[in-house]
Structure 1
Amino acid sequence: MANRQSSSVVVIGGGPAGATVSTLISQQGYQVELLERERFPRYHIGESLIPETYWVLKRLGMLDKMKSSHFVKKHSVQFVSPSGRHSAPFYFHDNKPHECSQTWQIRRSEFDVMMLKNAEEQGVVVREGVRVLDVLFEGDRAVGVQILDEAGNQKEIHADVVVDASGQSSMLINKFKLRVPDTQLNKGALWTYYEGAYRDQGKDEGATIVLSLQNKKGWFWYIPMHDDIVSVGVVADFDYLFKGRGNHESTYFEEMENCPAVKERITNAKQMAPVKATKDYTYRAKQAAGDGWVLVGDAFGFLDPLYSSGVLLAMKSGELAADAIVEGLQIGDTSRSQIGKWETGYVEGMNRMRRLVCEYYDGFSFGEFIRRFPHHRGSVTDLLIGDLFKPELDQVFHDIDSMKVS
């Protein structure tokens, strides 16, 4: 093919995972080309950050931009039981008195643009409106991509490493049939946005609130954002939410009747968008890397939205992959064992969050657990803020198991 280019690393996808991995590699002096099919800004769900994103944002040079943004500050998460009883807020700062314990409720269309521009400012070649047609291989090794630009021109870009950060439609997860659905978390979600909905005051204004349905079959998220907008969505088992029901709008409002605490909060609010839906979204790839290629963010896997871990896991996987790729480029080793060396530790952290999600769906009570094991309050808060990569947290789950048999 006549049009051939080369780059050290090609990243497919410009969301938080792609922007993170590309920025951190570029910071080390390597040529990185980021290819994004759409033109930003574009809509995306996933609006609540958890505190551990702070450390990745710091490495990216994004903290000052976040601090000067109009995003609502988030200090805590609160849970509302099926009976309508509110838990005490889990204030992140009480557990970790550091500025990292304040995070943000974001609008993804704005946040993703900020991340992409930040990548460009730090040397990443960002190309929007570019469709990746195929990942190129020589034997089992990825060596680049074939693209189609907006003018209709096909080109090849050769690279030492191809990073797939293209989200749930990942080309490589489908090419190699790596997707493994999580049958225990076969959930779906319906959501919309309200203007003028109730929000708490002061430190609690930006809290994420998780409200159980009265029938205990699911829960609502309630996320206050800037411009007087609140994101309100319901999550439940796929069969319950989508089989034998009416249209998405009617199902959504039927479930709101099943959660009076949410209905009360939106009494005087105006619905600002049609009800949106997503289904079958919990899955993981069998492997995170191969020779010359890596999966990060949703291209590797997605966990339930219960604890707002999506953006953190996207950015964390991007960070860990970037460090392994940089080390591999430095020593001339871009094999699976090198550029995927982060996978085991990352999956262990992801599994801790998954376990906490599963416990919630099995009826786990934070309040009862903390009353029984008060010394674990800090560890539970660590899990809720996304500080997942510490083996000592496994003691929490040991004691949860002990409650079940006692």
Structure 2
Amino acid sequence: MQASFDVAIIGAGPAGSVAGSILAQAGRSVIILEKEAFPRFRVGESMVPASCETLQRIGVKAKLDQGGFLIKYGGEICSACGTRFQFLFRNGLRPKWKTSYQVERAKFDQVLLDHARELGCEVRERTAVQDVEFYPDGVNLRTGGAGPANSTVTARYVLDCSGRHSLLAHRFQLREAFPDLRKFSVFAYYENVGRPEGEAGTLTR
């Protein structure tokens, strides 16, 4: 099992998988370390058209087109006081991409991770990064979990793509709290709900 890489990526969500794909396309050796086993549940399904540029760049957009994801033509924002605002992506200032996707994150993230693997990234699921040691010529990542337990991965560079629980942000105390943004959200999924036909059926979020 390879233990030394050009780049080690912490986290196999969209950021980690896309970064891994770009680096692998550039000929770099990459390992992606993910503490969970895929597929796994995540919230956050509505995408904007600008993301299609990167999806096209790494060669995964065709897989999304064939993956059964809902094509999204715009959005509708509804406030608690009853105000509603609709918009269509094609009416944007620079509408190079006029549609996007509404995705189920577990399936979407799996497609991205599998694509990174196909491009040459080594992927280790159920492998949590417990500590990172920095040296002048690289980093050592100590891992544990249900994957290769208590192993060390060496890399020239490390990318922390582990989201809001960022290991390195915590390590270097980079997280800033904004008092005005101390909020929470509520989500729910519904079945057997009627949806308008055509573009209008892709707007509400």
Q: With structure 1 as the length reference, what TM-score do the two structures score?
A: 0.48
For 2:36, the aligned partner's letter is: E
Q: 1:166–1:203: structure 2 CA closer, same or farther, 3 Å change rule?
A: same
Q: 1:177–1:114: structure 2 CA closer, same or farther, 3 Å change rule?
A: same
Q: 1:12–1:79: structure 2 CA closer, same or farther, 3 Å change rule?
A: closer
Contact residue 4 and residue 156 of structure 1 kept, 8 A: no
Instruction: Indicate the residue corresponding to 2:68 in structure 1.
Output: 70
In 2, Cα distance between equivalents of 1:107 and 1:15: 13
- Higher RCO by CA contacts (8 Å cutoff, separation 6 or greater): 2
Q: 1:117–1:81: structure 2 CA closer, same or farther, 3 Å change rule?
A: closer
Between Structure 1 and Structure 2, the one with more helix by share is: 1
In 2, Cα distance between equivalents of 1:67 and 1:111: 11
Contact residue 74 and residue 87 of structure 2 kept, 8 A: yes
Contact residue 144 and residue 162 of structure 1 kept, 8 A: no
For 1:202, the aligned partner's letter is: G
Q: Deviations over 1:339-363 (max 9, x none)?
A: xxxxxxxxxxxxxxxxxxxxxxxxx
Instruction: Indicate the residue corresponding to 2:21 in structure 1.
Output: 23
**Which residue among 111, 114, 127 is the counterpart of 1:114?**
111
For 2:37, the aligned partner's letter is: R
For 1:15, the aligned partner's letter is: G
In 1, Cα distance between equivalents of 2:22 and 2:156: 16
What is the RMSD of the two structures over their aligned residues, measured on CA atoms? 2.0
Residue 151 of structure 2 is aligned to residue 144 of structure 1: no
Deviation at 1:86, TM superposition (A): 3.7
Q: 1:152–1:36: structure 2 CA closer, same or farther, 3 Å change rule?
A: closer
In 2, Cα distance between equivalents of 1:4 and 1:30: 14
In 1, Cα distance between equivalents of 2:32 and 2:150: 16
In 2, Cα distance between equivalents of 1:58 and 1:50: 14
Q: With structure 2 as the length reference, what TM-score do the two structures score?
A: 0.91
In 2, Cα distance between equivalents of 1:133 and 1:85: 46
Deviation at 1:82, TM superposition (A): 5.0
**Which residue among 189, 192, 202 is the counterpart of 1:193?**
189
Contact residue 4 and residue 155 of structure 1 kept, 8 A: no
Instruction: Indicate the residue corresponding to 1:79 in structure 2.
Output: 77
For 1:18, the aligned partner's letter is: G
Q: Deviations over 1:355-386 (max 9, x none)?
A: xxxxxxxxxxxxxxxxxxxxxxxxxxxxxxxx
Instruction: Indicate the residue corresponding to 1:60 in structure 2.
Output: 58
Instruction: Indicate the residue corresponding to 2:178 in structure 1.
Output: 182
**Which residue among 64, 87, 90 is the counterpart of 1:90?**
87
Q: 1:55–1:153: structure 2 CA closer, same or farther, 3 Å change rule?
A: same
Q: 1:113–1:133: structure 2 CA closer, same or farther, 3 Å change rule?
A: same
Instruction: Indicate the residue corresponding to 2:149 in structure 1.
Output: 153
For 1:192, the aligned partner's letter is: A
Q: 1:154–1:50: structure 2 CA closer, same or farther, 3 Å change rule?
A: same
Q: 1:184–1:85: structure 2 CA closer, same or farther, 3 Å change rule?
A: closer
For 1:24, the aligned partner's letter is: I
Query: Unpaired segments of 5 or more residues in structure 1?
Result: 210-221, 223-406
For 1:62, the aligned partner's letter is: V
Give the alignment of 1:234-383 within 5 angstroms: none
In 1, Cα distance between equivalents of 2:2 and 2:81: 63
Q: Deviations over 1:94-131 (max 9, x none)?
A: 33554x21111000000000000000111111111112
Q: 1:151–1:127: structure 2 CA closer, same or farther, 3 Å change rule?
A: closer
Deviation at 1:20, TM superposition (A): 1.0
4+ residue runs of structure 1 moved beyond 6 angstroms? none
**Which residue among 98, 101, 104 is the counterpart of 1:104?**
101
Residue 155 of structure 2 is aligned to residue 126 of structure 1: no
SS in structure 2 of the partner of residue 55 of structure 1? helix
Deviation at 1:79, TM superposition (A): 3.1
For 1:69, the aligned partner's letter is: G
Deviation at 1:142, TM superposition (A): 5.4
For 1:128, the aligned partner's letter is: E
SS in structure 2 of the partner of residue 79 of structure 1? strand
Instruction: Count matched residues.
Output: 204
Q: 1:197–1:179: structure 2 CA closer, same or farther, 3 Å change rule?
A: same
Instruction: Indicate the residue corresponding to 1:49 in structure 2.
Output: 47
Q: Deviations over 1:149-177 (max 9, x none)?
A: 52663221111101111122111111111
For 1:101, the aligned partner's letter is: K
**Which residue among 9, 12, 16 is the counterpart of 1:11?**
9
